[in-house]
A and B are shown apart, each in its own frame.
Chain A
């Protein structure tokens, strides 16, 4: 408890929020770096997963990739990439990408695959193009699951991005690692608390987005009848 109080004191100390080493800067680095990783994972994983879900081809590959990649220890990867690429953001970026890709890919694939095939068949039979089926039917109906995949990727990346400091001195891993090295445990715990808070915040944002997507995918569950709606 004592240590926890010290950590809170450390967090509240204005000196830690000023200068070139300000915590605000670490937080921004942490968010920015995590966001880039998740965005790149989304840019690769969503199209790939969607395509596999839509065509039903490459299912085996996706199961192997998502299962296998999840078993890889990120710290080990980071070390290998670090030895290969040297100091800098490249190694942690790659290691985190390997961490983020499986949930994004699995979410996109599972989401699109779970859309009722009869609905898709009907859309095709009345004359929607494959593109229109994908954009107008499969993606909106799959959106809650796709966003669920992003959510889980984002959480893992935010909590694991502390490792970036191990090799490149970036983000909220810095107070954690320097605290460890210098036995300043208030600093170490303070940094961890910030990471946890950040993760909770991101979780909350994703929850909001996900339920908005669910309302669009299943509007009848939440819709008020027109007669009861207040007209603006």
Chain B
């Protein structure tokens, strides 16, 4: 369990990234923090692995204040996925994936074997193991980033707009794969995005943030869609737009779901 307890982040120049934020994230769940830029969502994420220390309040992992832990140890125990993977350009894919295990003293040969297994796990051909990141497509780099985050078998995964840098088709595919992977590994995942659809696609729970990390609404995707808390959330999720207002039309004895513009989006199964 990850708990944010009344955290605040104020930078020396007076900028307040996070006003006052509290949230408990249960284990084995995926929680999406969603908001536009300036909402402090990335700052919150980075508090978990102490890339940022809160000015006030505390972050606890399983009841232990992260501030009492060594930064490096803490970071190695948490998987971190960044936009475009954040891979080291001068190391091969396999070496990138094996970075933390090797630092933790795992033998090179074993680390490599495990890295190959992880590559398969995220849907990559092991023939890519000896390539360099720049030789891979954006989607492949992103997968390597996920494989690297899983390498030390962490309980927690932090994901910072991990699928933001790839095109929509690849993003859909990566999201589906991420769901399948999570069904299998059951990590505690904190996920930051500005894309509400991505939050709905991946989050068991979604936290919509206003400026300064003020919680506008927290709930399952269905709850938020059903009852947006206020105008802000409604406009953020696009409530009332053609895309979100679906109706049923009967065609040849079947129920076709259409959006507000009468565009079919699927078939209703009963």
Contact = CB atoms under 8 A, between A and B. Distances in A.
A123 B82 CA distance: 11
Contact of A219 (B87, B127, B132): B132
B49 A128 contact: no
B132 A118 contact: no
Contact of A127 (B76, B86, B87): B76
B90 A125 contact: no
A127 B90 contact: no
A218 B90 contact: yes
Nearest to B136: A220
B88 interface: yes
Given A122-B87, A218-B90, A226 B130 contact: yes
A125 B89 contact: no
A77 interface: no
Interface string B84-107: 111111100000000110010000
B72 interface: yes
Interface string A112-124: 0000101101111
A119 B86 contact: yes
A125 B132 contact: no
Contacts of B85: 122
B100 A141 contact: no
Interface in A103-154: 116, 118-119, 121-129, 132, 137, 140-141
Nearest to B79: A126
A129 B103 CA distance: 10
B51 interface: yes
A141 B80 contact: no
B152 to A, nearest CB: 8
A125 B51 contact: yes
Nearest to A226: B130
A123 B89 CA distance: 11
Contacts, number: 73
B103 A128 contact: yes
A223 interface: yes
Contacts of B134: 218, 220
Contacts of A219: 90, 132
Given A125-B49, A127-B100, A217 B76 contact: no
Contacts of B241: none
B89 A119 contact: yes
A123 B73 CA distance: 14
A118 B89 contact: no
A124 B100 CA distance: 11
B76 A126 contact: yes
A163 to B, nearest CB: 40
Contacts of B49: 125
A127 B72 contact: yes
Interface string B193-219: 000000000000000000000000000
Contacts of B135: 220, 223
B88 A119 contact: yes
B143 interface: no
Residue of A125, A129, A218 ringed by the most chain B CB atoms within 10 A: A125
13 contacts: A118-B82, A118-B86, A119-B88, A121-B82, A123-B88, A125-B75, A125-B86, A127-B74, A128-B103, A137-B90, A217-B90, A220-B133, A223-B132
Closest 3 CB pairs of A and B: A122-B86, A127-B76, A127-B75
